[in-house]
Structure 1
Amino acid sequence: MPKFFICVWFLYRRLLSFQPGVNDEILEPSSSGKLKIKDGITFHLYISTAPCGDGALFSPRDSESNNAPLQSLNDKSHQPTFANQVQGVLRTKMEGGEGTIPVDEDFVAQTFDGILRGERLRTMSCSDKLCRWNVLGMQGALLSHFIDPIYLSSLTLGFLYDHGHLSRAMCCRVDRDEPKVETMLPSGYRLNHPWLGRITACEPSRETQKTKALSVNWNFYDDRPEVTDGTEGRCYTGIEKGSMFSRCTKRKFYDAFKHVCQKFGRQDLLQADNYYKAKQMAIDFQQAKQVMLKKFKDQKMRVWVSKPTEEEMFN
Structure 2
Amino acid sequence: MPGTKTRAVNEAQLHELPEGLGGAHIPPTPLQEFADALSQLVTQKFHELTGGLASIHSRHKALAGIIMSRGLDARQAQVVALSSGTKCISGEYLSDQGLVVNDGHAEVLARRALLLFLYAQLELYLSTRHEDWERSVFVQLKEGGFRLRDNVLLHLYVSTSPCGDARLHSPHELSTQLSASKHVVRRFRGHLRTKIESGEGTVPVRGPSAMQTWDGVLLGEQLVTMSCTDKIARWNVLGLQGALLGYFTEPVYLHSIVVGSLRHPGHLARVLSRRPASLGPLPAAYRHNRPLLSGVSLAEPRPPGKAPHFSVNWVAGTPDVEVLDATTGRRSCGAPSRLCKHMLASHWAHLYGKLSTRTPGAEDVPATYCEAKLGARGYQAAKQQLLAALQAAGLGTWVQKPPEQDQFPLRP
TM-score interval w.r.t. the shorter chain? 0.7 to 0.9
In structure 2, which of residues 291, 296, 299 is the aligned counterpart of residue 202 of structure 1? 299
In structure 2, which of residues 342, 348, 355 is the aligned counterpart of residue 251 of structure 1? 342
Q: Does 1:170 align with 2:170?
A: no
In structure 2, which of residues 396, 399, 403 is the aligned counterpart of residue 302 of structure 1? 396
SS at 1:251 equivalent: helix
1:107 Cα deviation after fit: 3.2
Q: Does 1:24 align with 2:134?
A: yes
**Separation in 1 of the partners of 2:157 and 2:316?**
17
Q: Which runs of 5+ in 1 are unaligned?
A: 66-82
Would you say the 8 A contact 1:61–1:204 is kept in 2? no
Q: Which moved more, 1:34-43 or 1:195-204?
A: 195-204
In structure 2, which of residues 248, 257, 260 is the aligned counterpart of residue 158 of structure 1? 260
- Residue aligning to 2:46: none
Would you say the 8 A contact 1:269–1:278 is kept in 2? no
TM-score (norm 2): 0.65
**Separation in 2 of the partners of 1:44 and 1:279?**
26
SS at 1:43 equivalent: strand
User: What is the percentage of aligned positions where both structures have the same residue?
Assistant: 38
Would you say the 8 A contact 2:146–2:250 is kept in 1? yes
Cα displacement string for residues 108-160 of structure 1 (whole angstroms, at most 9, x for unaligned residues):
52111111211111010000000000000000000000010000111111111
- Residue aligning to 1:230: 326
Q: Which moved more, 1:295-304 or 1:194-203?
A: 194-203
Cα separation, partners in 2 of 1:206 and 1:232, compared to 1, 3 Å: closer
> Which amino acid is the alignment partner of residue 247 of structure 1?
R
In structure 1, which of residues 251, 263, 267 is the aligned counterpart of residue 354 of structure 2? 263
Q: Does 1:215 align with 2:311?
A: yes
Alignment map for 1:187-198 (pairs within 5 Å): 187-198=284-295
Would you say the 8 A contact 1:52–1:99 is kept in 2? yes
SS at 1:105 equivalent: coil
1:291 Cα deviation after fit: 0.6
**Separation in 1 of the partners of 2:134 and 2:311?**
31
SS at 1:190 equivalent: coil
Cα separation, partners in 2 of 1:60 and 1:249, compared to 1, 3 Å: same
SS at 1:264 equivalent: helix
**Separation in 2 of the partners of 1:283 and 1:30?**
19
**Separation in 2 of the partners of 1:282 and 1:134?**
18
Cα separation, partners in 2 of 1:203 and 1:136, compared to 1, 3 Å: closer
Cα displacement string for residues 36-56 of structure 1 (whole angstroms, at most 9, x for unaligned residues):
000111111111100000110
Q: Does 1:11 align with 2:107?
A: no
**Separation in 2 of the partners of 1:163 and 1:110?**
34
Cα separation, partners in 2 of 1:210 and 1:38, compared to 1, 3 Å: same
Cα separation, partners in 2 of 1:124 and 1:32, compared to 1, 3 Å: farther
Q: Which runs of 5+ in 2 are unaligned?
A: 1-107, 175-184
Q: Which moved more, 1:154-163 or 1:226-235?
A: 226-235
Q: Does 1:46 align with 2:157?
A: yes
1:19 Cα deviation after fit: 2.2
**Separation in 2 of the partners of 1:114 and 1:231?**
19
> Which amino acid is the alignment partner of residue 161 of structure 2?
A
- Residue aligning to 2:367: 273
Cα displacement string for residues 227-246 of structure 1 (whole angstroms, at most 9, x for unaligned residues):
2222112223xx4xxx7111
SS at 1:88 equivalent: coil
**Separation in 1 of the partners of 2:142 and 2:161?**
37
RMSD, aligned α-carbons: 2.3
- Residue aligning to 2:236: 134
> Which amino acid is the alignment partner of residue 8 of structure 1?
L
Would you say the 8 A contact 1:98–1:210 is kept in 2? no
TM-score (norm 1): 0.84
- Residue aligning to 1:35: 146
Would you say the 8 A contact 1:55–1:169 is kept in 2? yes
Cα separation, partners in 2 of 1:108 and 1:190, compared to 1, 3 Å: closer
> Which amino acid is the alignment partner of residue 24 of structure 1?
E
Cα displacement string for residues 29-84 of structure 1 (whole angstroms, at most 9, x for unaligned residues):
1255210000111111111100000110001189xx6xxxxxxxxxxxxxxxxx95
**Separation in 2 of the partners of 1:228 and 1:246?**
7
In structure 2, which of residues 275, 283, 300 is the aligned counterpart of residue 186 of structure 1? 283
1:94 Cα deviation after fit: 2.1
1:192 Cα deviation after fit: 0.7
SS at 1:228 equivalent: strand
1:85 Cα deviation after fit: 4.5
> Which amino acid is the alignment partner of residue 110 of structure 1?
Q
> Which amino acid is the alignment partner of residue 233 of structure 1?
G
Cα displacement string for residues 184-223 of structure 1 (whole angstroms, at most 9, x for unaligned residues):
310100011111111102376585x433222222222212
**Separation in 2 of the partners of 1:292 and 1:132?**
8
1:20 Cα deviation after fit: 7.2
**Separation in 2 of the partners of 1:223 and 1:171?**
34
Q: Which moved more, 1:262-271 or 1:163-172?
A: 262-271
**Separation in 1 of the partners of 2:248 and 2:260?**
34
